[in-house]
Amino acid sequence: MVQDDAWRKELETERAMKNDFMSRHPESPFVSGRVPFHELVYFPPDPSYRVTATLERVSPPAEAYLRTNRDNQAVMRYLGDLSFLLQGQVLALRLYHAGEGVGTAVFVPFRDATSGRESYGAGRYVTLELNEQDVYEVDFNRAFNPYCAYTDDYECAFPPAENDLPVAIRAGEKVWAVERNPRSPSAVVLARRPGAAARAKASARAAVPRRPTGAAGRTRRRSARTAPRGRRGSGPRPASSPSRRSGPASRGSAGRPAGSRTSRRPSRRSRRTSRR
C-alpha cells in the first residue's frame, strides 16, 4: 500500500511537470508551434496496468520501417518482442530502438481498443531503458502521445500492425483534442493529402437536404401556383436573396459592386415621345 502511494505521488508529479514544460518551454510543441495550450488529459492512475514483461530478442537486430504521419518511413532497429500478461491474456509488443543519439532508450509504439475514441487514434508510446536481464516493468500509466497529436509540425512513427493490442488500455495519456483524434493511422495520412479539405467540404454539401422531387415536389409546386395572390410572396424576404425591385445597383452578390451605375434599355413609350 505504501509502495502504491509512492508510485501515485511520483506519477502525479511527473504529469504536473510535463504540463508545466508543455505550457512554457521553448521546445514544447505548443510554444514552438504557437498552438493554444490546455492541460494534458490522463486516465486515472491504475496499478493494474503495471506489468512485468520479458524481452525475447531477435539476433541480430533487424532494420524496420515504420510509417509516419507524413507518409514516410521511419528507420528503426527492431530488437525483439516484449511478452507480458494483462487482463488474463498473454500479449506481446515489438520493441524498437531509434538509432544513434538516444543511448539505451527504447520505445514501444502501440494501439489498443481505446485508440480513436478515448486515446489518440494513431497510437501512443511507452519508453524503457535497456538492461542486461531483459526483464522490464512496463507501466502503461506512463503512456504518452507523440507530438503529432498536438500539431502537424512534427513527424512521428506509427505502431506496426503487430502492436495493435486486442484489449483496452485505460491508462496513461488520453486524446488531447476531439478534433485531432483520427480513427486510425491511415486517417492521419489521408487528411494531409492535397484536396482532402475540398473533399470533406464536398461531402458536407452532399449531406444537405435537396429540394423534394417526384410527387411530393409536384404537390408543393402546384399548391404554390394556386395560392391567392395576396398571400403569395407575403412575409419578410430573406436578407440573402435580392429583391426584384432593388435593381442592379444593389446586387453586389451578383457580380456587380453595390452602387455601380448601369444603363437600361428605354421603354416603347419613351421612344415614341422622342420621335415626336
In this predicted model, what pLDDT tens digit does every residue of 137-164 receive, in sequence order?
999 999 999 999 999 999 999 999 999 9
Give me the mean pLDDT over the 251-269 stretch.
Answer: 36
Residue 178 lies in a domain: yes
pLDDT on residue 127: 97
90 belongs to a structural domain:
yes
Predicted local distance difference test score (pLDDT) of residue 218: 53
pLDDT score recorded for residue 192: 79
Dist CA 35 CA 66 (whole Å): 27
Contact 212, 220 (CB under 8 A): yes
- What domain count does the chain have? 1
Residue 251, pLDDT above cutoff 50: no
Mean pLDDT, range 251-273, rounded to an integer = 38
54-79 residues labelled b (16+ CB within 10 A) or e (exposed): ebeeeeeeeebebbbbeeeebebbbb
Is the alpha carbon torsion for 153, 173, 61, 100 positive or negative? positive
Mean pLDDT value across the chain:
80
94 contacts: CB under 8 Å, gap ≥ 6: 64, 78, 80, 81, 82, 108, 160, 162, 163
pLDDT band at 193 (very low <50, low <70, confident <90, very high): confident
Reported as a single tens digit per residue, the pLDDT across 17-35 is 999 999 999 999 999 999 9
User: Is pLDDT of 205 > 70?
Assistant: no
pLDDT digits 0-9 by tens, 123-138: 999 999 999 999 999 9
Would the pLDDT of 200 be above 70? Answer: no
In a domain, 19, yes or no: no
Paired sense of beta strands 124-129 and 105-110, if any: antiparallel
How much is the pLDDT for 140? Answer: 98
Which has the closest alpha carbon to 76: 67, 87, 64, 85?
Answer: 64
- Residue 255 within a domain: no
Beta bridge partners of 136: 53
The whole-number pLDDT of residue 183 equals 86
Within-domain flag for 18? no
- Across the range 249-271, mean pLDDT stands at 37
Whether residue 22 is contained in a domain is answered as no
Sign of CA dihedral 131, 132, 138, 143: positive
Asked whether the whole model's pTM tops 0.75, one would answer no
Q: What band does 254 get if pLDDT is binned at 50, 70 and 90?
A: very low
Residue 99 pLDDT: 87
pLDDT of residue 198: 53
When pLDDT is averaged across residues 54-76 and rounded to a whole number, the result is: 96
Look at residues 135, 87, 82 and name the one whose alpha carbon lies nearest to residue 109. Answer: 82
Angle between helices 185-192 and 196-206 (to 10 degrees): 100
Least confident range of 158-162, 207-211, 258-262: 258-262
Tell me the residue range of the domain where 84 lies.
41-193
CA distance 134 to 82: 9
Could you tell me if residue 71 is inside a domain? Answer: yes
Minimum mean pLDDT range among 99-103, 132-136, 196-200: 196-200
Residue with more model confidence, 254 or 48:
48
Q: What is the pLDDT of residue 273?
A: 43
- The secondary element (H helix, E strand) that includes residue 275 is helix 268-275
Q: What residue type is assigned to position 76 of the chain?
A: M
Q: Is residue 212 part of a domain?
A: no
Sign of CA dihedral 243, 245, 248, 249: negative
pLDDT value, residue 248: 32
